[in-house]
Structure 1
Amino acid sequence: MEPTGTPDDDSAAYRPDGQAVDFLARLTRLLLSCSGEGTHLIEQTVGRAGDAFGHPTTLLMVPEGAVLSVRPPAPAPTTVTVTVRAVPEVFRLDRVVALKDLVRAIDDGRCPLPRARAELARIEELPAPYGPWWKLAGITLFALGFAPLMQPTWWEIGATAVLGLWSAALAVAADRLPRLALLLPLLAAFTVAVLTLEIFARTPVHGGPVLIMLPALFFFVPGDYLSAAAAELSAGLMTTGAIRLVYAVFLLVQLYVGVLLGVAVTGSSTRRLFDVAAAADLPRWALFCGWIIFTVGTVLAFAIPYRLAPLLLLLVYVTVGVQSLVTKAAGEVAGTFAAAVVLAALANLLSRRPSMPPRPVLLLPGFFTLTVGSLGMRGLTTLAGGHVIAGFTDLLKLVSIVTAIALGLVAGAVLSTPRRQLARH
Structure 2
Amino acid sequence: MENNDLKVNETSSNGLMEFLTELGKALTASGISVVDITSILEKIAQAYNEKAEILVFPTMLLLKIGEQESAPLNAAIQKPGLLPLNQVSEIYDLIYKAEAGKISPIEGKKCLRKILSEKHKFGPLGILFGYILFSMGIGMLLQPTPEQLVVSGVLGAIVGILLIFSRGRNRFLLILPVVAALIVTSLSIWGVKSGLVTGSVAMLLPALAYFLPGATLTTGMFELAYGEIISGASRVIYGTAILFLILFGVLVGIQITGISQQNFLVTNPLNALGWWAPYLGVFIFAMGMYLFMSIKNKDLPWVILILYIAFFGQQAGNYLVGGVFGAFSGSLLMTISGTIIERLDHKTPSIVSIMPAFWILVPGALGFMSLATLVSQNYFTAITDGIMVAMTIVAISLGLLIGAVITEPLKEMEII
Q: TM-score when scaled to structure 1? A: 0.88
- When residues 154 and 239 of structure 1 are mapped into structure 2, their CA distance, relative to the original with a 3 A threshold, is same
TM alignment of 1:401-416, pairs within 5 A = 401-416=392-407
Residue 80 of structure 1 pairs with residue 69 of structure 2: yes
Which has the higher mean CA deviation after the structures are superposed, 305-314 or 386-395? Answer: 386-395
Residues 30 and 419 of structure 1, relative CA distance in 2, 3 Å threshold: closer
Counterpart of 1:24?
Answer: 20
Distance in 1, matches of 2:109 and 2:347, equals: 23
Partner residue of 1:277 out of 264, 268, 271: 268
Change in CA separation of 1:68 and 1:202 when aligned onto 2, cut-off 3 Å? farther
Residue 160 in structure 1 maps to residue 152 in structure 2: yes
Q: 1: CA distance between counterparts of 2:358 and 2:193?
A: 29
Matched, 1:58 2:53: yes
**Matches of 1:203 and 1:398 in 2, distance apart?**
33
**Structure 2 counterpart of 1:6:** none
Matches within 5 A, 1:365-376: 365-376=356-367
1:14-44 CA distances to partner (integer Å, 9 max, x unpaired)?
xx9452222221121212221x242221111
Instruction: Please state if 1:94 is matched with 2:86.
Output: yes
The one-letter code of the counterpart of 1:318 is I
Q: 1:33 aligns with which of 29, 50, 61?
A: 29
The match for 1:175 among 155, 167, 180 is: 167
| Match of residue 233 from structure 1 | 224
* Structure 1 segment 139-288 matched on structure 2, within 5 A: 139-200=131-192, 206-208=198-200, 210-277=201-268, 279-288=270-279
Deviation at 1:204, TM superposition (A): 11
Q: Give, in angstroms, the shift of residue 193 of structure 1.
A: 0.7
CA distance in 1, matches of 2:193, 2:222: 37
- 1:292-321: CA deviation from partner (whole Å, max 9, x where unpaired): 110111222222213322221111111111
**SS state at 1:352 partner:** helix
| Contact residue 273 and residue 381 of structure 1 kept, 8 A | no
1:202 Cα deviation (Å)? Answer: 5.7
CA distance in 2, matches of 1:233, 1:108: 30
One-letter code aligned to 1:87: I
Q: 3-state DSSP class of the match of 1:307?
A: coil
Please state how far the C-alpha of 1:420 moved relative to its aligned partner. Answer: 9.4
Deviation at 1:419, TM superposition (A): 8.9
3-state DSSP class of the match of 2:227? coil
Match of 2:119, SS?
A: coil
How far has the Cα of 1:45 moved from its partner? 1.1
User: Could you tell me which amino acid in structure 1 is paired with residue 94 of structure 2?
Assistant: L
User: Gapped runs of 5+ residues in structure 2?
Assistant: 1-11
Amino acid at match of 1:103: I
Single out whichever of 134-143 and 404-413 deviates more from structure 2: 134-143
Once the two structures are superposed, what CA deviation does each residue of 1:190-224 show, in whole Å capped at 9, x if it has no partner? 1111001111466698352x111111110111111
Q: Would the aligned equivalents of 2:243 and 2:368 in 1 still touch at CA under 8 Å?
A: yes
Letter in 2 for 1:236: G
Q: Quick check: 1:186–1:257 contact (8 Å CA) kept in 2?
A: yes
d(CA) in 2 for partners of 1:114 and 1:212?
Answer: 50
1:393 to 1:203, Cα distance in 2 relative to 1, 3 A: farther
Alignment match, 2:9: none
Task: List alignment gaps of at least 5 residues for structure 1.
Answer: 1-15, 72-77
Do structure 1's residue 124 and structure 2's residue 119 form an aligned pair? no
Mark the CA change 1:410 to 1:122 in structure 2 (over 3 Å): closer, same or farther. Answer: same
Pairwise CA RMSD of aligned residues?
2.2
Could you list the per-position Cα deviations for residues 222-243 of structure 1 after superposition, in whole angstroms to 9, with x for gaps in the alignment?
Answer: 1111111111111111111000
2:286–2:303 contact (8 Å) kept in structure 1: yes
- Matched residue type, 2:39: Q
Conservation of the 8 A alpha-carbon contact between 1:91 and 1:301: no
Mark the CA change 1:91 to 1:112 in structure 2 (over 3 Å): closer, same or farther. closer
Alpha-carbon displacement from aligned partner over 1:324-362 (angstroms, at most 9, x marks no partner): 122111111112111111111111222223533112111
Answering whether residue 309 of structure 2 is matched by residue 318 of structure 1, we say: yes
Q: Which amino acid aligns with 1:28?
A: G
How many residues are treated as equivalent by the alignment? Answer: 399
> Partner residue of 1:393?
384
SS of corresponding position for 1:306: coil
Say which is worse superposed, 136-145 or 351-360, in terms of deviation: 351-360
Would the aligned equivalents of 1:312 and 1:362 in 2 still touch at CA under 8 Å? yes
Residues 244 and 174 of structure 1, relative CA distance in 2, 3 Å threshold: same
Are the counterparts in 1 of residues 28 and 37 from structure 2 also a CA contact under 8 Å?
yes
Q: Could you state the TM-score of these two structures normalised by the residue count of structure 2?
A: 0.90
Which structure has the larger Rg?
A: 1
Contact 1:142 1:295 in 2 (8 A): yes
1:116 CA drift (Å)? 2.2
Of 103-112 and 322-331, deviating more is 103-112
Identical aligned pairs, as a percentage? 27
